[in-house]
Structure 1
Amino acid sequence: MPPQNYSPNPHFSLVLTTPLQLKTKTGWKYSQAMGVTNKKSIAALVSVLITVSLLRLLWITIRTSTNTPITSMPPALVIACSSPRDCNKTTQHRKRPSTGQPPSFSNASALTDKEYHLLSHLISQRAPCNILVFGLEHQYLAVASLLNAGGTTIFLEDNPTKLGNADTHPKYIQVKEVRYKTYAKEAYKLLKHARKNPGCAPNSGLHDMPRCRLALTELPEEVYKTKWDVVIVDGPSGEGPESPGRMAAIYTASILARTGNMTNVMVHDVDRMIEKWFSWEFLCDENLISSKGRFWNFHIAKEVNSTRFCTT
C-alpha cells in the first residue's frame, strides 16, 4: 500500500513543546534567583573578611603598643639578661631612687621585645664578628656579652656619664669617646650639602673627606681599619634640635659598611624624621632586608668605588 500522508497531531506537538518552554522559563527564573543569591553571598563574604581584617589589625596594634621597653639596669646585671623580658624580671625587685625627673630619651627609646629579638638573632647568625655601635646602651652590652664573646665590639659614646663605667666591661668590649659637631636642627641643610658636594660621595673615603661636614673623621684609628660585620646606630640621643643628631652617625656607618664585606647596618628610632630621612638617603630602601618596630636592618655590599649611595 502506498504510504499515507502523515499529519502531526497539533495537541501532540503542544505536549512536546510545553515542557521545553517550562524548562526554559524555569531555568531563567532559577538563574536569575541564583544571581541575586550569589551577589548577596559575595557581599556578605566581603563584609566578613573586612571585619576580620579590622579586628586583626586592632589586635596587632594593641599588642604592639603594649610592648614594655626595657629600663636601664646596672652593669653588673648585664650578663644575667638573655632577653628584654629577663632584664625586666631581674630588675623588678630593685628599688630605684626617685629623682623627680622624667625618663631620659635613651630609656624612652629602648628596644622592645621584637626589636631585641631581631638584633640578637642577627648577632647569633654572624658571631663571632666585629660589631660597631653608635650609642652605649645596656641592651647592646647584653647582646655583645652573651653572643659575641669571641668577636670584637666597639661602642662610640658622647655622653660623659655613660663613659664613666667603661672599665667594667669585658676585654672584648671597648668603649670609645666620640664628639659630634653637627646638631639635629641642621639636618636639612646637611642633607642638601651632602647631595651637592662631590666630596661626600661614597668613593671618597672617610680619611679623604674633610670637605664633607657629615663625615666623622676623628674616630679612633681602629674604627677605620676594621672590617665591620654589624654597625648599629642608636646614638647620639638627638633628643632636641640643639642636641647632636644622628646624621653624621648614619652617614659614617654607610661609608664604613661599603668598605666591609656584606655589612648589616641597623638604625633605631626610624619613626623620627632624621633617622628615616638619612637612612633612605645613605643606606637606601633597596638594601632594607628586615625591620621590627622602630628598628631597620640594611644589608650593604662592598662598593668602595661607587659614586652613588643608591641605584634608584
Structure 2
Amino acid sequence: MIDFIKKGKKLFLTSLASMMLFSTVLTSSFAAETDVLTKSSVNEMLQYEFSSEVMSVDKDDLEKSLTDTFDNLDLVLKGMKSERNLQEAFLEKTSLEDDVKRDLEEYFSNSQDDEKELNNLIRDVKDQIAENHSVLPEITEVLLLQSNSSIKSEDKVQATILPILLRLALKEAVKKKMGKKIKRMAYDEFEERIEPEIWAEVEALHEQYNGDIDYDGPEDKNELNGINQGEKVFNIIHKRTNKHLLRFHMKRVDKGRSIDFHWHKKDDNFEWHHGQTKITKSNQFPEHWGED
C-alpha cells in the first residue's frame, strides 16, 4: 500500500498467534481485538455478491481492497465530511445498525474535526464488521464505485480503492497545510475553483503510471505547527523510481491578502506554474501555515 496511507498505523501482537492471519495484522491507532482479520473471515467476506459493475477476475484485487478499506476507515470516514455523494452512498448501501448510522450522520454534519468521536465511530464500525461479514464488502463496493467512476478498463471498474484513498488524503493535505483559520477563509473556494483541476492532473498520473504513484504531504515535525512553512502542499511521486511527477504549491501573496495556488510538472522540468489561481480576501490570511 502506498506510504501515506500507512502513516499513523502500528503493528501489534496478540495472544491469537496460532490463527492464520491475512497477510498482516491490520490496526488503527486505538487497536482493538476486532482489528484482526483472519484468512477465514476474508474468505467469508469474498462470498458477498459484488455487483457486476465492480467484479474483477482477479480475486487478489478484491482481497486487497477489502483489507485496504478496513485499514483506512479513519481516512474514509474523515474524508466523507466533504464528500456528500460518498456519505449518502455509504449510509444507504451498507447494513450498519441504525444507531451507528445516526452517529455517523451527526459526525458528518459537524464542521469540527473531533478525533475522539472519530475513533469511537471507527471502533463501532469495526465491531459491526466483526459481527456481520457483509458490512466490509458493502463499504468496499461503495468505495470502488465512487473512486473509479472515471477510471475504467474495458467498461469494468478496476478493483482497487486506491484512487479514492488518494483523493481523500490529498484533501486532508490541503486542510492540514491551511490549518483551521485559513481553512475557514478559503477551503470552500479551493474545493470549487481549484480542486477539480488539480485532481484531474493527479487522476491522469494515476492512469499514466498504472496506479504506481505515491504521495508526500505537508507535514514536517521540525517546522512551526508541524507543517512545512514554504510553498509545498504535496508531491505526487512515481513509486518505483521515487521521482517527483507533480508538486502542488500554495503561497501567500499581495501582502497576505491572497493565496496563490499552482503546480509544477515533471513534463517541463518543474519550470512552469500550471493552473495558477488566486483566492483573495479583504482581510489578511494568517502568516503561518497550519494555524488552529
TM range (shorter): under 0.3
State the TM-score, normalizing by the size of structure 2: 0.25
Question: Normalising by the residue count of structure 1, what TM-score does the alignment of the two structures yield?
Answer: 0.24
Larger Rg: 1
